[in-house]
Amino acid sequence: MLGTQPLPPALRPGPACPPQAPRPARRCTVTLLVPVLNEIVGMKAVMPLVRREWVDQILVLDGRSTDGTAEWARENGYEVHVQTRPGIRQGYMEVLPHVRGDVLVTFSPDGNSVPEVLPQLVAKIDEGYDMVIASRYKPPARSADDDLVTAFGNWLFTRTVNLLHGGRYTDAMVIYRAYRTNLIRDLELDQDRWYWTPETLFRCRLSWEPLLSARAARRNLKVAEIPGDEPPRVGGERKLQVLRWGASYYFQFLRDWVLWR
């Protein structure tokens, strides 16, 4: 747990992005975090399209893939962390000490995240935003990965975050986004207690993007969205457990509305 250990460099308090850093080079250092669980097909297709100079660090977070994803990533020169505990958030927590960027971009290499959007996310962050979301529903963007259930779910959750927490999102749920690494601590995303009850009730493991959206809105942080198409998944299998995650995230939104200040 982070609370009992020295904070990783990226989480230590301080200015988000040093104002004296040279321009026109980027002001913020950026870590691209690539969570993978059996995504060998997507990795091979998508990662060559991500230019390494777009960010300062690329970190592949492997959830113990059995299809050679981690081996492929290592052979291709990527920094790989293999998580010991299951779950995407648990993986995020394990990899945090290795994150060097003062900005984190989470990226799904399964075809759902368009690589060319990455420089736009980073450029927008450099304008001084705390978080920039690659929205699948901000026109003209579209999701080609949604089915009726996920389209409705994403709409409902986004509306809920807007109504309960004062957001103005078109997409509060997507993984593809950039945010100041410090927000993880500032918004208590690293505290197990905010996940324990829904994860136990609905027997699943959550990620933290929905809670990040709700809390960033509640704190009135500087948030922007840019349109980001979501093409269909390339190979592999979707890990989303629609009903369990849906119920858990809804629980989190409602509880935060009552409890979180």
Ligand X SMILES: Nc1nc2c(ncn2[C@@H]2O[C@H](COP(=O)(O)OP(=O)(O)O)[C@@H](O)[C@H]2O)c(=O)[nH]1
Number of residues that make up the chain: 261
- List binders of ligand X among 132-161 (CB under 6 A): none
Count of Cβ atoms closer than 10 Å to residue 108 Cβ? 20
What's the closest the beta carbon of residue 206 comes to ligand X, in angstroms?
11
Tokens encoding 249: 């995230």
- The least distance separating ligand X from the CB of residue 114, rounded to whole angstroms, comes to 13
Residue placing its CB nearer to ligand X in the complex, 86 or 128: 86
The one-letter amino acid at 160? T
Q: How far is the CB of 126 from ligand X (least distance, A)?
A: 26
Among 33, 37, 70, 216, binds ligand X (CB under 6 A): 37
Closest CA to 229 of 167, 170, 141, 159: 141
What one-character-per-residue DSSP string does 98-134 give? G---SEEEE--TTTTS-TTHHHHHHHHHHTT-SEEEE
109 forms part of the interface with ligand X (CB under 6 A)? yes
- Give the range of 7-15, 31-39, 176-184, 208-216 binding ligand X by CB under 6 A: 31-39
Interface characters, 174-193, with ligand X (x: CB under 6 A): -x------------------
Q: Which residue is nearest to Mg ion (CB)?
A: 112
Q: For the segment 89-148, give every residue that binds Mg ion (CB under 5 A).
A: 108, 110, 112
For ligand X, which residue of 61, 114, 117, 183 counts as binding (CB under 6 A)?
A: 61
Which residue's entry shows tokens 């290499």?
109
Of 4-12, 18-26, 80-88, 195-203, the window that binds ligand X (rule: CB under 6 A) is 80-88
Beta-carbon contacts of 198 under 8 Å, excluding residues fewer than 6 positions away, are 204, 206, 247, 248, 249, 251, 252
The backbone torsions φ and ψ at residue 33, rounded to the nearest 5 degrees and listed phi first, read -105, 125
Single out the residue of 30, 33, 47, 88 in contact with ligand X (rule: CB under 6 A): 88
State residue 132 phi and psi, 5-degree precision.
Answer: -130, 125
What is the four-CA torsion angle of 183, 214, 261, 101, rounded to 10 degrees? 0
Decide which of Mg ion, ligand X, none touches 88; Cβ closer than 5 to 8 Å per partner kind. ligand X
Q: Are 32 and 59 in contact (CB under 8 A)?
A: yes
149 binds, among Mg ion, ligand X, none (CB under 5 to 8 A by kind): none
Tell me how far apart the alpha carbons of residues 248 and 227 are, in angstroms, rounded to a whole number.
27
Identity of the residue, 29 or 207, whose beta carbon is nearer to Mg ion in the bound complex: 207
Interface residue with ligand X among 57, 239, 244, 257 (CB under 6 A) is 239
Binding site for ligand X (CB under 6 A): 35-37, 39, 61-63, 83, 86-88, 91, 108-110, 112, 175, 238-240
Binding site for Mg ion (CB under 5 A): 108, 110, 112
